């Protein structure tokens, strides 16, 4: 029950009633697919241009800048290490 | 161009499917795994990823992956399905559900079959879509079928809060939500289970935090690595499990740092805690486990389908011969079930593990090399 | 579980997957079976009036009626032309039978009919006979249309699953999943927007180019509609009594289609296409066929995606992009948006 | 009254009467028109593969699905065979496309398919290609089926409204109204019982006998389905540019059919038939044709009912049984039970 | 064999269509009618019979038949149609109606068009079928559209009594019933009307009795003959009218004795009187006529749709140019209307006289030799 | 609104509740077409074998024995008279 994908924030919508601290909705994009997602339970309100992980129409995590790249770099280092060893 | 930007962005999946990096991972796993090792992928989404990307094929014979109780569809009790079928058939009620649940057999058939008999069942992508449905159909009561683990429960909790804020009297939730840690504890307490490590669920960990598995690793002396869902994520986590195993360590580790922090998502946890209370829950195959389910807290009773409707929910026996329980506990692989591929196929499942595409039996049947078709 | 005799038609029976096959083989063929129908090809080919005639039909019930890239009318023209073309026939004429719901806005029907007229004219295949029924409000969902088509199969052309041989190459005319994901995301409740567009288009010119490029070297053609590429390959493999191997990395999927699939938990291999064609050709003919496909507007993106092998009959395997291997099973049920 | 642009499809548009004609001519022909479709004959006849091919389609949406004397499946086989036969074609093959409502009892589908199989076998015309779609519950009324058919028109045979000439005789193969009144009285709310039975049956053997009896002497054949004998004659007369005269006393109506019509305020001339045939033949050929019709099981009750005249184009007149004269106008709307 | 018995039974229609007897009648009429005579067939069912059997063709040119106000569909006020359309479109309401009414245009279209827009309209043969509908659909209110003259009103009255006996709370009646004698009086009071006799309605007379026309004949000095509906019945009645006219008599006569008695049907009249009370009613073409309509008596208020639903029934103007009123008053023949056969056809009627098959314009258009098509 | 046809009574059904004086329903036939009709408003309860005039599912008149034949005979006499004259 845990299908979630990273999507880029295109827009933050201001709350209808002005209630709460967060704008509740963001428009996000993945390769040209756009959807409005709720921000009710995201750990940190994203800025436009940041990536969020989206599950069931809700953002559940805002990626730290460079976090994904760092994750990938970690894998690349591992690969280089193996290649160096081999 | 948005699409171009997104495609090259580091967070996109393609980067985590690089065959060169995968080959490097695999080579390292092969090098490290000198004795038979048995890991459980706890999460159904991992099960799907492993089959869909053909990862089992890449691993050396020493590394065996077994599927755990992390497919919420598979572990949802028949009684819950029966209750949802009952609700969906009532005049004036419309059931909104994730597509995953539609084909799951209960004692009286699935929701798909109920719909064929005239019940109102609507597939939604988000629980918020169910709210929209309730607003569009003021003369009906829309019941949302709440299934899922910690990843999903906060979204549903937020939806309940929003329904309350909007004063939507015709929306209700049937909560069959479950939480992972108590189930894993119950599973690991089984003396018959032989396991060398747990591939911990990535998006559940986004919410509960990588730290949630520390106690488990310590208490049961089992390596625990949080894994993402892209092929490289899974291979990296397996590599780390192998490494712990051969080095004799049993620690909680995080191989999915871009999505998972040590503490998890406190806002989501708070929303969840505001709406739900832990209750004992029945898991298919594992039986009743204390504090492993989430019921609506008394404050939300007005939105609770279980309180609002007079339902006779009685435990239903598992289908005769179905070894789902053993499969979910890692005691049997799907092909060892006598029904597998014979009476039980994805087109006509006997047990729940054959239903959802992340169900172990379904994944084995559909993607597996052995015994399939 | 009372599942052994379901006793009722489920949506899955129309999905083009296992349930649909079961219905066709277990029920329709039992009552209606004959050598031509039993072939279960896109069209039947009959010897008639001194020539060989391809004959096919399809019902169109798509919801919504209009979607980016097309509508039910264009689809009904293209789909039947394509089923003729896949047997190597030159489409000659179409029929159109409408079932209309009482209360349907005439403007909607007008728009659909106009689209059919335009599609038929563009394809050069006229609608020569038709029928209209109106059912009471609530007895149909706005508009259904069933087209049938006839075409002439040139002498010497023989295409079908039965002609497939191990070693044959599997070619695909372009990206997959476009139609299926476009229609699915237009339904109520998903609220997805994006660069999605049905690929509906006629394939008879592509098919003619394929046949001209390698007379005798083409063994089968199929348009992977319901059930998608996966189901089409599984059916071909099963009926050919052979196995198939394809390369995931070779199968083109537009990024927006892939993203929508990831968001909704769908596999593009199982999504419908309405303007794509799978060609199974002899190894020696494959290059020429590919070149001919690429020379047409509708086959510009043609690629080789795999080959026919001597493996277990009906088994389709795929080398995944990451380097693994997996089975590509037949469709088990209508693809639904999932969150797992 | 806002009636000039009704803007919505009404049940009357499917009735085979004036509203249906308006829809076909005002909408479908505008978008889809071409010389073959414009003929609006029972089948299109195309030159193809060296021979002449008849091609037709009809959708079947009858409610109830089963009725005395037949069911939707038999009807779908017979109706399409008959539309081929009416152009003088030897029916060669049929297609069948099903639209099923989710939840339909499989046993119902089984019964329909079995009936289709039996009807096709009895007629000697196989169903060679098909399609199945399933729509969500409530999006269709149980089961619709659309058949299409192809047949070979023998050299020299040319039938159609355009061939009709003043002086021709009008022949009818038997009683009228049986099908229409049977189906109407089986609907909920009427609660009529009685000796009513649909006449559904294939007419290709009768048609072949007719053509054999008078090569060149037969000008047109029509099966008077929706809209009944009246609408069929009005359409033929209009397209022939001639008038017609019939004798009420000569038109056979079974007593039970007549009684039901009187009870419900219906005119048997406007009720559907599914196993009857109107033949327009040269005066010199009429006797031979009538004898040939009577020699077949399905034409045993054949009679001459009137003739084509030079009167105003499209006008059908009837000498009534009591000795009066009246116009037989085209159907204005779906026949409904009345109490006036 | 029932069918055989019935076929030879004297009451069957075939006997009354004998061309030999008809020819004898016609010969006698021709012999008698030496000057132009103008008779009105009051009843729409006569209009249909005359056209359907081609009787006008048989009559000598001296005998002209004009259609009167006896087609209940034609005289039903637009406001009634509008009310029925309104009711049929309300949530939870299903309208049951005779097929005759379905295509009648109101100010906002017909019931057929309303149904196309989603209203629930059911065609029934008997008002009792509407009761059955109400019983089968307890969650809806079934409203029966009560139109018709004295022939129909007793049946509807009996249905109301039966609904009450069964305690059917979800059945209601919209009464637009009308009675003939006041309308004929109003018509005959029109100094512009030149008539030589009335063909009185056969089945209305079955209920009200042949005696009901005596006053009329006396008061207006007009020959009145009750006629059945078979060709011989109509011809016989015409012969008797011709005879009275040429003999200078003005009496009430009964040419349909097998179905009509002098006193009529007292039980039916009693049932009618129990359920309905006379009220002023608007007739298309004739305007409001005192005591010419039937409303539910106060005791049946619970079953009265007019009382139960809040309807804004306001008089609707007749369609511009439609000469229905003149046609119904015998002032114009349908082909004299500018719309006839042009804008106004049975497939798309402008006025009500074009709708029902017994409407004068429709009958002229469909069966008439002159002016049609 | 006055379409009514004569039908022959095949059967009289006894009332469900036993209320009222009349059996409320008869099964009637015309040339093999059968229907149940209500007798609530008929002028005289018919016997089996008699004819009733049926309108909108209700019998509205029971024909006197020989009444229809008499009516027809009247027409025949008229015809004979005309023939005699002519
Ligand atoms: S194969 Fe089917 S019956 Fe067997 S364990 Fe799996 S789900 Fe249960
Ligand atoms: S022809 Fe039409 S518009 Fe004219 S009077 Fe008759 S109903 Fe009215
Ligand atoms: Mg086809
Ligand atoms: Mg197709
Ligand atoms: Mg047709
Ligand atoms: Mg609808
Ligand atoms: Mg195809
Ligand atoms: Mg046809
Ligand atoms: Mg036809
Ligand atoms: Mg098909
Ligand atoms: Mg239905
Ligand atoms: Mg026909």
Average confidence (pLDDT) over A44-67? 93
Helix (H, G, I), strand (E, B) or coil at E336: helix
CB F2 within 8 A of CB E151: yes
Side by side, the strands of the sheet bearing D44-48 are: D44-48, D51-60, D143-153, D90-101, D127-135
Segment D29-56 shows an average pLDDT of 91
Contact (Cβ atoms closer than 8 angstroms) between residue B346 and residue B362 = yes
Helix ranges (H only) for B33-77 are 44-52, 55-58, 72-75
pLDDT at F18 over 80: no
Neighbours of chain F (3+ CB pairs under 8 A): D, E
Each residue of B133-169: b (16+ CB within 10 Å) or e? bbeeeeeebbbbbbbbbbbbbbbbbbbbbbbeeeebe
pLDDT of residue C4: 37
Q: Chain-wide mean pLDDT for chain D?
A: 93
Chain C residues whose CB is inside 8 A of the D50 CB are 49-51
In whole angstroms, how far apart are CA D174 and each of C220, D70, D153, D222? 50, 18, 25, 13
pLDDT tens by residue, A2-43: 789 999 999 998 765 555 555 689 999 999 999 999 999 999
Q: Is the CB of E195 under 6 A from ligand 2?
A: no
D340 pLDDT above the threshold of 90:
no
Q: How many Cβ contacts (< 8 angstroms) between chains C and D?
A: 298
Partners of D146 on chain C (C-beta within 8 Å) are 57, 59, 97, 99, 131, 146, 148
Is D173 in contact with D237 (CB distance < 8 Å)?
no
3-state secondary structure chain D: CCCCCCCECCHHHHCCCHHHHHHHHHHHHHHHCCHHHHCCCCCEEEEECCEEEEEEEEEECCCCCEECCEEHHHHHHHHHHHHHHCCCCEEEEEEEEEEEECCCEHHHHHHHHHHHHHHHHHHCCCEEEEEEEEECCCCECCEEEEEEEEEEECCCCCCCHHHCCCCCEEEECCCCCHHHHHHHHHCCCCCCEECCCCCCCCCHHHHHHHHHHCCCCEEEEECCCCCHHHHHHHHHHHHHCCEEEEEHHHCCCCHHHHHHHHHHCCCHHHCCCCCCCEEEECHHHHHHHHHHHHCCHHHCCCEEEEEEECCCCCCEEEECCCCCEEECCCCCCCCCCCCC
Q: At what angle do helices E153-165 and E266-275 cross, to 10 degrees?
A: 60
- State the burial class of residue D111 (Cβ atoms within 10 Å of its Cβ: 0-12, 13-18, 19+): middle
Cis peptide before F40 (omega within 30 of 0): no
E254, E213 Cβ separation under 8 angstroms: no
Q: Is residue E282 within 6 Å of ligand 2 at its C-beta?
A: no
| C202 Cα: distance to centroid of ligand 7 (angstroms) | 12
Whole-number CA gyration radius for chain E:
21
Nearest to B98 by CA among C166, A73, D58, A2: A2
What is the maximum alpha-carbon separation in chain D? Answer: 57
Q: Cα(C337)–Cα(C267) distance, rounded to whole angstroms? A: 10
Cβ atoms < 10 Å from Cβ of E359: 32
Q: How many CB atoms lie under 10 A from the CB of residue B299?
A: 11
Out of C59, C98, C127, whose CB is closest to D131? C59
All residues at 6 or more sequence positions from D143 whose CB lies less than 8 Å from its CB, including other chains: D65, D72, D98, D99, D100, D101, D104, D108, D109, D112
pLDDT of residue C251: 98
Q: What is the mean pLDDT of residues B360-370?
A: 72
Residue pair C175/C252 in contact (Cβ under 8 Å)? The answer is yes
Q: Helix, strand, or coil here: C202?
A: coil
Exposure string over C104-121, b if 16+ CB within 10 A, otherwise e: bebebbebbbbbbbebbe
F74 within 8 A of E15, measured Cβ to Cβ: no
Phi, psi angles (nearest 5°) of residue B334: -45, -45
Residue C216's closest CA among C289, C143, C278, C167?
A: C289
Per-residue model confidence (pLDDT) at position F15: 62
User: Pairing between strand F5-13 and F25-30?
Assistant: antiparallel
pLDDT above 80 (res B366):
no
CB E26 within 8 A of CB E53: no
Question: Could you tell me if E158 lies within 8 Å of chain F, comparing CB atoms?
Answer: yes
Q: How confident is the prediction along chain C (340 residues), in pLDDT tens digits per residue?
A: 333 345 899 998 988 888 888 899 999 999 999 999 998 888 999 988 678 999 999 999 999 999 999 999 999 999 999 999 999 999 999 999 999 999 999 999 999 999 999 999 999 999 999 999 999 999 999 999 999 999 999 999 999 999 999 999 999 999 999 999 999 988 766 778 888 999 999 999 999 999 999 989 999 999 999 999 999 999 999 999 999 999 999 999 999 999 999 999 999 999 999 999 999 999 999 999 999 999 999 999 999 999 999 999 999 999 999 999 999 988 888 888 887 7
Residue D266: Cβ within 10 Å count: 25
Residues 97-156 of C with CB under 8 A from B: none
CA distance E233 to A60: 86
Residue reference for tokens 């309209």: E121
CB-ligand 2 contact for E327 (6 Å cutoff): yes
Contacts of B358 in chain C (CB under 8 A): 340
| E interface test, pick of D184, D269, D323 with most E CB neighbours within 10 Å | D323
**Which residues of chain E does C136 touch, with a Cβ-Cβ cutoff of 8 Å?**
115
Q: Comparing C-alpha atoms, which of E11, E14, E126 is closest to residue F8?
A: E11
Domains of chain A, first to last: 6-84 (2.30.30.140)
Q: What's the rounded mean pLDDT across residues D57-63?
A: 97
Look up the pTM and report it.
0.94
Separation CA C72–CA B254 (nearest Å): 50
- Backbone φ, ψ for residue A29 (5° rounding): -140, 140
Q: Residue D2 above 90 pLDDT?
A: no
Pocket of ligand 1 (CB under 6 A): B 322-324, 327, 334, 337, 339-340, 344, 350-351, 353-354, 361
- Tokens 């806005």, residue located: C105
Instruction: Report d(CA B170, CA B137) in Å as an integer.
Output: 9
What is the pLDDT confidence band of residue D49, given thresholds at 50, 70 and 90? low
CB of B130 within 8 A of CB of B171?
yes
**DSSP calls for B115-165:** HHTT--EEE-SSHHHHHHHHHH-TTSEEEEEE---TTTHHHHHHHHHHHHH
Q: Which tokens sit at E297?
A: 């008596």
The answer, yes or no, to whether residue B1 has pLDDT greater than 50, is: no
Burial profile B219-229: b = 16 or more Cβ within 10 angstroms, e = fewer: ebebbbbbbbb
D-chain residues within 8 Å CB-CB of F7?
263
pLDDT tens track for B80-116: 999 999 999 999 999 999 988 898 888 888 999 999 9
Does D267 have pLDDT greater than 50?
A: yes
Chain B and chain C share a number of CB contacts under 8 A equal to 151
What is the distance between the alpha carbons of residues A9 and A36, in angstroms, rounded to a whole number? 10
Q: Closest residue of D to E367, CA-based?
A: D327
F–A touching, 3+ CB–CB pairs within 8 Å? no
Domains of chain B: 33-323 (3.40.50.11740), 324-367 (no CATH)
Q: What share of chain B is helix, strand, coil (3-state, %, to 5)?
A: 45, 20, 35
Whether the predicted pLDDT of F21 surpasses 60: no
CA C250 to chain centre: 20
More confident residue, D292 or B66: D292
Q: Quick check: E9 and F68 CB within 8 A? A: yes
Which ligand is located closest to the Cα atom of residue C43?
3
pLDDT digits (tens, 9 = 90+) for D323-339: 999 999 888 888 888 87
Q: Hey, is F40 helix, strand or coil?
A: coil
SS3 B280: strand
Q: Determine the Cα–Cα distance for residues E128 and C199; give it in Å rounded to an integer.
A: 55
Residues in chain E predicted with pLDDT less than 70, given as ranges, are: 1-13, 367-373
A79 vs E118, residue with greater confidence? E118
- Rounded Cα–Cα distance for residues D27 and C130 (Å): 13
Q: Which domains, ranges and CATH numbers included, belong to chain C?
A: 1-33 (no CATH), 44-153 (3.30.1330.10), 161-328 (3.90.650.10)
């Amino acid at each position: 029950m845990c299908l979630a994908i990273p999507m880029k924030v295109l827009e933050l919508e201001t709350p209808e009633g002005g209630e709460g601290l967060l704008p509740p909705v963001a428009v996000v994009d993945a390769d040209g697919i756009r959807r409005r997602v709720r921000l009710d339970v995201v750990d940190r309100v994203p800025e436009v241009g940041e990536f969020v992980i989206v599950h069931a129409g809700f953002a559940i995590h805002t990626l730290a800048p460079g976090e994904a790249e760092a994750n990938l770099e970690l894998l690349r280092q591992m690969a280089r290490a193996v290649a160096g060893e081999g | 161009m948005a699409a171009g930007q997104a495609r090259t962005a580091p967070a996109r999946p393609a980067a985590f499917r690089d065959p060169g990096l995968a080959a490097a991972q695999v080579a390292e796993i092969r090098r490290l795994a000198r004795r038979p090792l048995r890991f459980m992928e706890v999460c159904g989404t991992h099960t799907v990823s492993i089959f869909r990307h053909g990862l089992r094929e890449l691993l050396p014979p020493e590394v065996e992956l077994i599927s755990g109780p992390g497919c919420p569809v598979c572990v949802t009790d028949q009684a819950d399905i029966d209750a949802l079928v009952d609700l969906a058939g009532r005049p004036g009620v419309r059931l909104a559900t994730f597509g995953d649940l539609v084909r799951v057999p209960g004692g009286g058939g699935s929701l798909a079959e109920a719909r064929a008999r005239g019940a109102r069942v609507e597939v939604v992508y988000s629980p918020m879509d169910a709210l929209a449905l309730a607003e569009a159909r003021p003369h009906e009561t829309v019941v949302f079928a709440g299934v899922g683990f910690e990843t999903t429960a906060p979204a549903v909790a937020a939806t309940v809060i929003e329904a309350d804020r909007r004063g939507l009297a015709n929306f209700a939730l049937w909560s069959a939500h479950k939480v992972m840690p108590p189930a894993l504890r119950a599973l690991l307490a089984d003396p018959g289970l032989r396991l060398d490590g747990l591939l911990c669920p990535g998006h559940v960990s986004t919410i509960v935090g990588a730290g949630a598995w520390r106690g488990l690793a310590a208490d049961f002396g089992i390596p625990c690595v949080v894994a993402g869902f892209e092929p490289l994520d899974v291979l990296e986590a397996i590599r780390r499990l192998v490494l712990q195993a051969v080095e004799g360590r049993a620690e909680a580790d995080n191989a999915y740092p871009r999505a998972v922090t040590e503490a998890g998502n406190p806002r989501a946890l708070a929303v969840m805690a505001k709406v739900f209370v832990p209750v004992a829950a029945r898991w298919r195959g594992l039986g009743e486990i204390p504090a492993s389910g989430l019921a609506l807290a008394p404050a939300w009773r007005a939105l609770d389908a279980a309180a609002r409707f007079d339902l006779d929910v009685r435990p239903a026996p598992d289908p005769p011969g179905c070894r789902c329980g053993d499969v979910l506990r890692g005691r049997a692989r799907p092909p060892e079930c006598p029904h597998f591929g014979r009476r039980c196929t994805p087109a006509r499942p006997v047990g729940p593990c054959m239903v959802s595409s992340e169900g172990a039996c379904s994944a084995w049947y559909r993607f597996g090399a052995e015994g399939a078709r | 579980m009372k599942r052994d005799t379901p006793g009722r038609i489920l949506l899955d029976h129309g999905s083009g997957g296992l349930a649909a096959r079961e219905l066709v083989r277990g029920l329709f063929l039992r009552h209606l079976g004959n050598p031509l129908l039993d072939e279960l090809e896109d069209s039947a080919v009959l010897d008639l009036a001194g020539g060989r005639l391809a004959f096919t039909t399809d019902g169109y019930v798509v919801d919504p009626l209009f979607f980016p890239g097309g509508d039910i009318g264009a689809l009904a023209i293209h789909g039947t032309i394509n089923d003729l073309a896949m047997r190597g026939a030159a489409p000659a004429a179409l029929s159109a039978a409408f079932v209309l719901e009482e209360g349907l806005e005439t403007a909607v029907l007008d728009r659909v009919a106009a689209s059919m007229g335009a599609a038929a004219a563009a394809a050069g295949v006229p609608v020569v006979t038709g029928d209209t029924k109106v059912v009471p409000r609530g007895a149909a969902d706005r508009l259904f249309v069933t087209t049938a088509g006839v075409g002439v199969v040139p002498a010497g052309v023989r295409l079908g699953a039965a002609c497939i041989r191990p070693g044959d190459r599997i070619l695909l005319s372009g990206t997959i999943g476009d139609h299926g994901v476009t229609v699915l995301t237009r339904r109520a409740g998903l609220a997805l927007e994006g660069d999605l567009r049905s690929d509906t288009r006629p394939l008879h010119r592509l098919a003619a180019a394929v046949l001209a490029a390698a007379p005798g070297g083409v063994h089968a053609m199929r348009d992977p509609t319901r059930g998608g590429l996966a189901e089409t390959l599984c059916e071909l493999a099963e009926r050919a009594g052979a196995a198939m191997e394809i390369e995931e990395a070779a199968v083109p999927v537009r990024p927006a289609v892939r993203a929508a699939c990831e968001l909704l938990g769908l596999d593009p291999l199982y999504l419908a296409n309405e303007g794509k064609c799978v060609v199974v050709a002899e190894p020696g003919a494959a290059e020429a066929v590919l070149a001919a496909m690429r020379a047409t507007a509708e086959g510009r993106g043609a690629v080789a995606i795999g080959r026919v092998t001597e493996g277990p009959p009906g088994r389709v395997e795929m080398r995944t992009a990451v380097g693994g291997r997996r089975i590509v099973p037949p469709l088990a049920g209508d693809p639904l948006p999932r969150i797992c």
